[in-house]
Amino acid sequence: MPLHAIPGYSRLNRNHKLSAAAVAAGGAAAVVFAVVPGSANAEPAHNAASAQNVKPVAYHVVDDSSAYSLVDNAAAKAQNAELTQSSTRAADQASAEAFAAKKQAEGDAKAAAEAKAKAAADAAARAKEDAKNQRTTQAASRSSERKPVTYANNLDGWIRESLSIMKKNGIPGSYEGIKRNVMRESGGNPRAINNWDVNAQMGIPSKGLLQVIQPTFEQYHVAGTANDLYDPVANIVAACNYAADKYGSMDNVDSAY
């Protein structure tokens, strides 16, 4: 039977066709061998019967399209698996980066909160220390106000005490201006008295550190000082009060006044 008469032969590929031709050739060779006389012991009848019992070779057409489909499916699965792994790795990396960013943000927020808390604590500590210092200063000031100032019982102390009283009463004058006139008028003697000038001739001699007559002392006497013309502080303050009224200040007096 011609090879092209085999059903489906035209659909076979080259390898299949070569296989089919080999099988056909083998079958033909077997038939020829069967009819060729053999050895003396050969049994022609039996060989003929055997030849008659030879069944026709069945040809099976193999369709390899399914094999190609399997290969394609395997490649597709491998590609899908690779894509899945890539996506998984990308997702894991993104998750790790998000986690790291979150931790960084939490760390920054914690550091900022700690810095803010420290600044608040430092401010509170400074405020507490300032309040303590203020209380100490106020206490010292009150103590200073309650404690009377003690002045030396000499010309320096008398002038300084007089200046303190003059400042409270708005009477101008300086330490140097007062001392200069005291030294000229009495030499610093609070009991000095002038019994020879015109005032003495009128019966009202000048007395004290700045040689003040009694009527002037009484008129310009400053409350809070002793009512005694010989008292050093009372004498200085009254004389400076008089000089401020007549000359503007004891600093402007350079001779008898």
Provide the pLDDT for residue 190: 97
Q: What confidence category does residue 140 fall into, taking pLDDT thresholds of 50, 70 and 90?
A: confident
Sign of CA dihedral 224, 227, 233, 237: positive
Average pLDDT, the chain: 78
CB 143 within 8 A of CB 217: no
Provide the pLDDT for residue 108: 86
Residue 171 has pLDDT above 60, yes or no: yes
CB 158 within 8 A of CB 179: no
Residues 71-130: tens digit of each pLDDT: 567 777 777 777 777 778 888 888 888 888 888 888 888 888 888 888 988 988 889 888
> pLDDT: is 71 or 65 the higher one?
71
> 0.85 exceeded by the pTM?
no
Sign of CA dihedral 247, 253, 255, 257: positive
Q: What is the DSSP letter of 212?
A: B
Provide the pLDDT for residue 227: 97
Provide the pLDDT for residue 31: 40
Provide the pLDDT for residue 246: 96
